[in-house]
Structure 1
Amino acid sequence: MRKNVRNNIRHEQRVPGRRLTGVWRQMNTVLRQWQFEGGRTRRLLAAIAAALSALGLLGAPAAARAEADAWSRLVQPVFQNYGAQNGLSNPVTTDIAQDQTGFLWVGTQGGLSRWDGYRFRNYTNIAGDSHSLPDNFIAAVHVDRRGLLWVGTVNGGLARYRPESDDFVTYNSKNSALSPGGVRAIAGDDAGGLWIGTDKGLDYMAGMAEPARASITHYRHDDANPGSPPADAVKALYVDPHGTLWAASLKGLVRRAPGASDFVPLPLPEGAVVNALLMDSAGRLWIGTRKRGLFVLPPGGAQARRYADTAEAAELMKDEIITGLAEAAGGEIWISSFAGGVAILDPASGGLRRATFDGPAPGGLASGMVRALLTDRAGSIWLATDSGLSRTQPLPAVLSLGKRHDDRPGLSDIYYNAMAVTPGGEIWAASVRHGADLIDPRRGTAAGWRPRRLRDDDPTPATQVSALLADADGVVWVATGGGLYRSGPGGGGATRVAAPWLDRLHLRTLTRAGDLLWIGTATEGVYQARDDGRGGLRQVRHVDGLSGMDVTVIHPGPDGSMWVGTRTGLNRVDAASGAVLERILGDPLDPAALSNAYVNTLLTDRRGRLWVGSNGGIDVMEPGAGAGRRRFHRLGIAQGMPNINTGSLLADRWGRVWCSTDDGIVVIDPDTLAIGVLGRADGVQYSPYWSHAGVATASGELVFGGSGGITIVRPERYRPWNLDAPVVVTELRLGGVSVPASGYNGNGGAPLVVRSDANSFAVEFAALDFSAPELNRYAYRLEGFDREWIMADAAHRVASYTNLPPGQYQLAIRGANRSGAWSARTLHMAVTVQPWWYQTWWFRALMSMLIAGALYGAYRLRTWRLAAQRGALEREVALRTVEVLQQKALAEQQRGEAEREHRLASERNAELEEVNRMAQMLAGKLDLDKLIALVGDQVHRMFTAASTQITLLEHDSGVLHVPYAAGAAARPGWQDAGVGARVIGSGQG
């Protein structure tokens, strides 16, 4: 480090006046920043502070930043690429813009494409359609201050996008006053006008009238007018935040202040063709040229200077065809070139690094031919290349170091299973196949270390390193399949440790505790060893009584004991005696127990709590409990872990706990135990990660080794992803037919009218978080129909409704970004479902009237029928009543007659019985004939009958004999046989 300072001083001395120039530049910048705020003393102090800082008397912030960005010399930005696989209309992209809604618009050589995070919607020229794109070769895409999208084409003029109808209005030399030729550049001003750079000159269009009525002013080169543009063909246009127009042509760069009429040239080297312009947040104008390098104009300055503060910058920029400029977070300037990829410049430190194309590779740049750059609202940088789009996040919290390509620094392997960091900041990374890599981020180097052959005749030394340990004196212990090595800094002076008792052991982990070296093995538990003073190790003792002999990790505890993790449990060992004090076994069914017995990693936090990473997640030991009463707080899938197979636990300077897993890296708040997940969108490219492959550097970086390479986390740059992603409608279908949808992006628009013959509608939507759209989440509800919110993921982001009752509805759509944070804005879409003719109010009123009339008629008919039925019933009842009364009277009469007849019959019977009795009594004493005659007379007189007759039956002959007859018609005699007669007193006939 001291050598670098001396070199810098000598370099300053070789360039007289350069450092003083830097002082004055900083003083001028400070003075300009304070000139509007007043305060003479404060301005003076600020200027003095800036000067002292430049002289190095107040520290070296640039050097500190360079130290923090040391890894940038070793690693490449990680890119996500989009192309034909996502539906891009043509792989050769030419320009990019983001509209006010949040959509990304990409100009290509085969049409215009709109990106919503899931797919491209393409717009191309359609023969015979005057409202389609006028030409497929797009040269410029621009969104003006009013939010209107303008498209410049090579052969079709200028087009303005109309979101309400999802089509275009074309302006060309035939239907308007626009200059002929291709539209190469577009810039809007604060007045609502548009500057248009064409092959034939510069035009200004006031407002956005239809083509025939558009007010267009031409600005042409005029040799007689020094205030005219220097040439007609325009290459680039830029309106800065102050309203000044910057116009570049083949003959230089000019500016036109607001309200001015003249174009004032900005001096540049002869032949400098400007392709790109950018004013950064500090007010500096950056000027990219064709093979003349990069220039910068300070705020308020009149002379631009070539940016070549370092030899590296001058070398990189001298032959570049600069095509685009963009400012990233932190003030970095991104510079794209036609064949060299992209350069990233840090104006604060002067550092310049490259991101180039190394062939198709995961996370690599899509192409080295970059034509345009864009910084979107989320801070991402988009690159328009000849092989599609690339996107990256500048100044990421996570960096990735992969295998070496060509002559650039890199790793020798892609699998790293153990790590150690020396006090000097050198990182040792154990490769599964190639020994170890030595990484020095300060120097931007990565070298290799290989164990020597065990014997001169051994052609294949054991190169697999299983464990690493860096001592405080810089000595690095390296455990391999062929023995234990001890190496000095930088891998020099490596010697094999003389310890024959170790040769038979498979070493898995190494830990230093005082003067003792703790050695964990794969099959024989833990050994304690001490230097023997002759370059070897002397065994002190073997630790007996562990939960298992397959040791995975050894970790010093805060109380002086040692924690030993095995594949079958966790053990606490007395550091002095080696006695096992406690064994803790896993119990996944007990939420307060160790979740899994396979222990991978251990960590003690600032509070003294032990963190245990296993194949069951993370367990945090609760403080206070003694042996046999250990309780844990479990962190698993339910608590937010992406995967429960853990790698390495590390703590940062703020006490946060980081853990690598088989599916990304997590960061845990030590107070709340809330989990944040870092995945591919955060720059995490490699997984799964290995246990033991994790170290924290002295400068604060956390380094994890995995399958694919090494991941570097810079905790000070980590921020939870809190993008407020706007929710937009990406497609709309009525009755299965696609209709323009862009007009519904924004609350308060015209309602969506669902005609009766459509009978259905479907709305596709997207939250415009482009970092990881597959993780976005959604919820929607049709107010007036749905009672609850309907949740949806990225694969089911369509709200579809069929056969809705006619009426007014509100479709509400919410979106959440990749972290699950819901957008503060809810998209509302008014929906009107029109009725069929038979569902209209007048039809329903008429039908209501008809139904009411029918019901009234039915009621009246029913009433009449009931009245008629009641009358008939009353008559029937009266008739029946009469009949019943008559029948009752008749019955009573009949009953009276019967009773009278019965009474008379009874009386007669009694009298006849009396007569019969008397007759029988006298029959034996009297003459029968006389007696019959006497009886007959007596009966005749008693009954006063008109005639009386006594008839006798002869049973044998059946002949009736009338011995007595009295009255007018009576006559004695015989009657025919067969006629029965009643014999008085016999009871037979």
Structure 2
Amino acid sequence: MKGIILFVLFLNLVLPQQFPLRYDVFSSNEGLSQVTIFHILQDHEGFLWISTAYGLNKFDGYSFEQYFNDKDDSTSIAYSSIGKLFEDSDNRLWIITKGILNLYNREQNNFIRINKTDDLDIYGIIEDSKRNLWCFSSKGLFEFNYEEKAFTDFSNSSEYKELIKNHLYEDFTIYNDIIYSASRKGEIHLYNLQNRVIEILHDSDKKFADFITSIKSDNNGDIWITTLEKGIIKYNISSKKFSYYNLQNKSTSENNFFKMNTKKKEELLAAGKTGLHKYNLQEDRFEKIRLQEISSGEEKNLTITDINIDNHNNIWFGADAVGLLKISNTKNQFKVLSESKNNPNSLPSKNVISLVEDSENNIYIGTFNKGVAIYDKNFNLLQHLENNPNNNNSIASNNIAGLLITNENKLWINHFYKGSSIIENNKVKRLPKFGDKKATLAISSLQIDDDNILFGSFLQGLVIYNKENNTAVEPIYDSSLSLPSEFGVISIFRDSKNNIWLGTNGYGVLKYDFNKNLITKPKNEKLFDLSKTYCIYEDTDNNLWFTTDKMGVVKFNSTNDSIVTYLSNDKYSQLSYYGIIEDNNKNKFVSSNNGLFLIDADERITSYYLEDGLPNNEFWQNSFIKLQSNLIIFGGNEGLTIFNPDSLLELSTEHNLMLRKFKLMNKEVSPGSNPILPKNLEVLDKMVLSYKDNFIEFEFASVNPANPKKVTYAYKLEGFDDNWFFTDYKRRFATYTNLSPGEYRFIVTTAENNQPNINNSRVLDLIINPPFWQTWWFYTLMVLLISSIIYSFYRIKINKIIEMEKLRLKIASDLHDEVGSTLTKVSMRAQMLEMQINGEKESNNLKRISEQAIDAVSTMQDIVWAIDSRNDNAENLINKIKDTVFSMLVEKNIKVDFEITGLISDLKVPLEVRQNIYLIIKEAVHNITKHSNADSAKIYLCNSTEKLELIISDNGNNYYQKEFSTGQGLKNIEMRAEKIKGKVEYVKENGFKIVLSAPPIK
């Protein structure tokens, strides 16, 4: 507020009473529940709370959230008719509705009802210096214990009981732990909270007015009282003196006041039936503030019901039957003078073509169709020059093309195709044409000396006019120039070196030598490429500036011949730049057909638009001026934009970012209505969603920033978005679809020049739970299940192996015990019969039976050995081989050598490998004993990582013919080798050698 009031006071010194404060309106069209406003409060988070005749409203600067009573919901506000609002030092928000004290539950975005009207009919709440809460009710003043939700009466004295019996308090304030309460009967009662004493404050009469509407204390020890019909009363606590401010004969016709705002004494405001009034500290009086609605441009008389000054010094007030009104701090730094039917001091036309100032600080404003308006330095309208067909002493036309103040302080007016009008001492001299030149459209001008003036024309280029002789001369054009017979010179400027520069309408920048009457190209031909140049200007550092059409703003340093271009990137490439003015701090202000731009001394660019307080975004060529008072004015199609460059405010970079709404599947989710949103989104730190919640949207806002429409937002979902996304105030939401299960972090912040302000952000952790089949516990369960199945199969296999081994063991035992025993008996009986029979033939048959029985026993023993699982290791295999080989070869006096490697004792040897290796060796040894005539043999058995190798060799010499002729034994060897995936080779070298290669035993 300080910025506003100080700015207003500044304008009062320079522009007294000529510029109203402009305001925006928020009504039911913008979402306000009802236009009858009782109270406005800004809470610690920046939200504006507005109590109305129907509904409570929460405003974030962009949209309203409404609260009403719901008879089926005990957590809704008690009544829809809302009274006073109060936020205590613990940031608790209290709302009073028809006697019910409601506490706003921020976590759940609902309300807790404290009392019942049967017990206490509460209509006010206040807090003392010790943070105790006090409530006014129909039964008096009560101290409220928040923890116990209990009320304690202020006093039990009979005096107190008698006093409160007949009084209800309209308003109250507290200062030094004394409550000053305004009775509806016009009395002021003082409640001393320290000693629990009550007294009546009075001047000559204890009754100040028939009706006191409000009472407020300021920081200087003054109590301010507003009344109906009797104006405003000030009570100074230290001096105990009263001051009365009766405004009936000053700035208003009535003295009905409703509210005061006493944030600071120099900013004290009073609101009432006749509008808004501010306190003039120096003159100790109240003055009415003129108010103008921005949208209509009209001044309004309003009945104001409440006032609040927010943390950006904007003034908010309720206007009866209108709604919520805002006097923006930033918008009112620009003052507007335009056409208004209800204001006799306004412009005759809102279309401003040209501006000049004379030596007496009078301002001349040329309009498109209403002549010239002349204002003094305080913007009081002095005179309106317009054409009168019946008066030759009037100007030639109301259509103004350009203005010039001559060296003699004469006003030279150029018209559209009507020549010129020259004003001196209130006399008008019409000049139909320049010498022998026909009337032309002269929009720019420059006086060279007392006699000669340069005029720039849309059709005739440059015209050099000698006013003494009334002659016009055309310039000479350099031979390097190729210009049409009709072209426009739209800007003329003489720099500090007396160079004259011409800006043309499509033919670049040219230079003019007055002494030679010669037009040439500039030395730096890049300037010649600036097709259409509306304005040429020299700054305090002697740089030349050129404003162009769609080619930006160009700075030319003639010392080093360098050129720098501004406002030419894609964002601004289609703009036309008209005027440029430098302030006392080397800041340049540039007008365009879409906004006003500031290029500061550090070459940073700030833009100003309609939402910043401009009456319109479109300005006009040659319609700009810097006054001697340092005020800058730009003209356009909505009048004048006037401002003091030294008082322009920088927007605050402090923002309170809030998540305002959450939508699931395009439907808004309320706190507590869905497990996803267990509490208010504004206080939520983490959100957990299901994988099915695949369409979500967050709405966000900076809560009541200085200028809501100027805020740029940046947001990002970490874990999903690689880059930041930037958006403006119109699209304050982020939408995401088909997010994969996982953990994310949503961040929203403000941005400057496409750079997010990460130090000022709102963060929400987001967890997307996967489907159950993608959870860790499901994976664990599956691992356990699969492991159980595998283990079950393994156990089944092991059990089968064990059963098979048991079976093998049983078969081996049965074969050994039953079949082996029987065969042995057969063999023994055959031998006994052989000894008893003398016949040779019978004896041979019995002998053969005996041998076959012995062979059968041997074979059966081999089978028993093979299938016995107790023999499934390398040690048993080696022992079996050695036993068999020794028993077979020693009997034949054949020496045998063994070399066995790679077979450790407990190495498990598969049944098939063990059996076939053994039988191959047995078959080979059998052939050695039977056919080889050898006296020595060698058995080599090696198990390596690469293969199992078996070599059986002898030194015999008679083996081959017999064995290869029949071939049965070798075939058996080959057959058994194939069973273990091996290969057999036969080598005749110093005897006979069998070589077997098979896969290794692992």
Which letter maps to 1:158? L
Which letter maps to 1:322? F
Q: Are 1:179 and 2:121 matched, yes or no?
A: yes
> For the residues of structure 1 that align with 2:265 and 2:521, how far apart are their CA atoms?
51
> For the residues of structure 2 that align with 1:97 and 1:685, how far apart are their CA atoms?
29
Equivalent residue in structure 2 for 1:827, among 762, 768, 776: 762
Q: Are 1:191 and 2:134 matched, yes or no?
A: no
> For the residues of structure 2 that align with 1:821 and 1:718, how far apart are their CA atoms?
25
- State the match for 1:722 in structure 2: 652
> For the residues of structure 1 that align with 2:596 and 2:210, how far apart are their CA atoms?
48
Query: Residue 38 of structure 2 contacts residue 53 of structure 2 at CA under 8 Å; is this kept in 1?
Result: yes
Deviations 1:519-552 (Å, cap 9, x if unpaired)?
11111112223442xxx84436546457673011
> For the residues of structure 2 that align with 1:69 and 1:314, how far apart are their CA atoms?
23
- State the match for 1:203 in structure 2: 141
> For the residues of structure 2 that align with 1:365 and 1:81, how far apart are their CA atoms?
13
Aligned residues: 808
Deviation (angstroms), 1:554? 0.8
Equivalent residue in structure 2 for 1:368, among 275, 294, 302: 302
- State the match for 2:954 in structure 1: none
User: SS at the partner of 2:569?
Assistant: helix
Query: Residue 182 of structure 2 contacts residue 189 of structure 2 at CA under 8 Å; is this kept in 1?
Result: yes
Equivalent residue in structure 2 for 1:151, among 79, 85, 95: 95
- State the match for 2:400 in structure 1: 465
- State the match for 2:609 in structure 1: 679
> For the residues of structure 2 that align with 1:595 and 1:772, how far apart are their CA atoms?
39
- State the match for 2:623 in structure 1: 693
- State the match for 2:586 in structure 1: 655
Deviations 1:636-665 (Å, cap 9, x if unpaired)?
253975973112111112221111122221
User: SS at the partner of 1:316?
Assistant: coil
The alpha-carbon distance between structure 1 residues 438 and 831, as it changes in their structure 2 partners (threshold 3 A), is same
- State the match for 2:712 in structure 1: 777
What does 1:940-959 align with in structure 2 at a 5 Å threshold?
none
What does 1:730-745 align with in structure 2 at a 5 Å threshold?
730-733=660-663, 738-740=669-671
Which letter maps to 1:372? D
User: SS at the partner of 1:739?
Assistant: coil
What does 1:438-837 align with in structure 2 at a 5 Å threshold?
438-442=374-378, 444-445=380-381, 447-453=383-389, 462-471=397-406, 473-481=408-416, 482-488=418-424, 492-497=426-431, 501=435, 504-515=439-450, 516-532=452-468, 537-539=470-472, 542=475, 544=477, 549-568=487-506, 569-583=508-522, 596-624=530-558, 630-638=561-569, 644-670=575-601, 672-733=602-663, 738-740=669-671, 751-754=686-689, 762-783=697-718, 788-800=723-735, 810-816=745-751, 822=757, 824-831=759-766
> For the residues of structure 2 that align with 1:472 and 1:351, how far apart are their CA atoms?
45
Deviation (angstroms), 1:751? 4.0
Deviation (angstroms), 1:567? 0.9
Which letter maps to 1:383? F
User: SS at the partner of 2:784?
Assistant: helix
Q: Are 1:384 and 2:318 matched, yes or no?
A: yes
User: SS at the partner of 1:478?
Assistant: strand
**Structure 1 vs Structure 2: percent identity of aligned residues?**
18
Query: Residue 344 of structure 1 contacts residue 353 of structure 1 at CA under 8 Å; is this kept in 2?
Result: yes
> For the residues of structure 1 that align with 2:721 and 2:796, how far apart are their CA atoms?
45
> For the residues of structure 2 that align with 1:554 and 1:851, how far apart are their CA atoms?
91
Deviation (angstroms), 1:111? 0.3
Deviation (angstroms), 1:230? 10
User: SS at the partner of 2:188?
Assistant: strand
> For the residues of structure 1 that align with 2:574 and 2:163, how far apart are their CA atoms?
66
Deviation (angstroms), 1:379? 1.1
Q: Are 1:132 and 2:76 matched, yes or no?
A: yes
Deviation (angstroms), 1:121? 1.0
Deviation (angstroms), 1:449? 1.4
Deviation (angstroms), 1:803? 6.6
Deviation (angstroms), 1:611? 0.8
Which letter maps to 2:181? A
> For the residues of structure 2 that align with 1:837 and 1:337, how far apart are their CA atoms?
65
The alpha-carbon distance between structure 1 residues 690 and 781, as it changes in their structure 2 partners (threshold 3 A), is closer
The alpha-carbon distance between structure 1 residues 404 and 733, as it changes in their structure 2 partners (threshold 3 A), is closer
- State the match for 1:418 in structure 2: 354
The alpha-carbon distance between structure 1 residues 739 and 381, as it changes in their structure 2 partners (threshold 3 A), is same
> For the residues of structure 1 that align with 2:165 and 2:516, how far apart are their CA atoms?
88
The alpha-carbon distance between structure 1 residues 518 and 873, as it changes in their structure 2 partners (threshold 3 A), is farther
> For the residues of structure 2 that align with 1:453 and 1:291, how far apart are their CA atoms?
53
- State the match for 1:24 in structure 2: none
Which letter maps to 1:160? L
The alpha-carbon distance between structure 1 residues 432 and 207, as it changes in their structure 2 partners (threshold 3 A), is farther
Deviation (angstroms), 1:389? 1.3
TM, length-normalised to structure 2: 0.71
The alpha-carbon distance between structure 1 residues 495 and 365, as it changes in their structure 2 partners (threshold 3 A), is closer
- State the match for 1:925 in structure 2: none
- State the match for 2:828 in structure 1: none
Which residues of structure 2 form unaligned runs of 5+?
672-676, 805-907, 932-958, 967-1002
Deviations 1:168-218 (Å, cap 9, x if unpaired)?
12244446x4236xx3x44333333334445x36533424347xx422436
Query: Residue 725 of structure 1 contacts residue 823 of structure 1 at CA under 8 Å; is this kept in 2?
Result: no
User: SS at the partner of 2:198?
Assistant: coil
Deviation (angstroms), 1:75? 2.0
Deviation (angstroms), 1:507? 1.5
The alpha-carbon distance between structure 1 residues 471 and 336, as it changes in their structure 2 partners (threshold 3 A), is farther
User: SS at the partner of 2:25?
Assistant: strand
The alpha-carbon distance between structure 1 residues 612 and 582, as it changes in their structure 2 partners (threshold 3 A), is same
- State the match for 1:936 in structure 2: none
Query: Residue 808 of structure 1 contacts residue 831 of structure 1 at CA under 8 Å; is this kept in 2?
Result: yes
Which residues of structure 1 form unaligned runs of 5+?
1-60, 588-592, 899-989
- State the match for 1:49 in structure 2: none
> For the residues of structure 2 that align with 1:444 and 1:325, how far apart are their CA atoms?
31
> For the residues of structure 1 that align with 2:696 and 2:569, how far apart are their CA atoms?
37
Q: What RMSD in Å do the two structures reach over aligned CA positions?
A: 4.5
TM, length-normalised to structure 1: 0.72
Report the more deviating stretch, 267-276 or 464-473.
Answer: 267-276
What does 1:208-223 align with in structure 2 at a 5 Å threshold?
208-209=146-147, 213-217=149-153
Deviation (angstroms), 1:473? 4.9
Report the more deviating stretch, 518-527 or 639-648.
Answer: 639-648
User: SS at the partner of 2:629?
Assistant: coil
The alpha-carbon distance between structure 1 residues 651 and 757, as it changes in their structure 2 partners (threshold 3 A), is closer
> For the residues of structure 2 that align with 1:801 and 1:866, how far apart are their CA atoms?
59
What does 1:31-46 align with in structure 2 at a 5 Å threshold?
none
> For the residues of structure 1 that align with 2:284 and 2:421, how far apart are their CA atoms?
42
Report the more deviating stretch, 394-403 or 427-436.
Answer: 394-403
> For the residues of structure 2 that align with 1:543 and 1:282, how far apart are their CA atoms?
74
Query: Residue 227 of structure 1 contacts residue 264 of structure 1 at CA under 8 Å; is this kept in 2?
Result: no
The alpha-carbon distance between structure 1 residues 313 and 301, as it changes in their structure 2 partners (threshold 3 A), is farther
> For the residues of structure 1 that align with 2:218 and 2:735, how far apart are their CA atoms?
45
The alpha-carbon distance between structure 1 residues 278 and 615, as it changes in their structure 2 partners (threshold 3 A), is farther
- State the match for 1:168 in structure 2: 111
Deviation (angstroms), 1:287? 3.1
- State the match for 1:334 in structure 2: 269
Query: Residue 229 of structure 2 contacts residue 256 of structure 2 at CA under 8 Å; is this kept in 1?
Result: yes
The alpha-carbon distance between structure 1 residues 621 and 719, as it changes in their structure 2 partners (threshold 3 A), is same
The alpha-carbon distance between structure 1 residues 870 and 362, as it changes in their structure 2 partners (threshold 3 A), is farther
- State the match for 1:960 in structure 2: none
Query: Residue 355 of structure 1 contacts residue 365 of structure 1 at CA under 8 Å; is this kept in 2?
Result: no
Report the more deviating stretch, 342-351 or 409-418.
Answer: 342-351
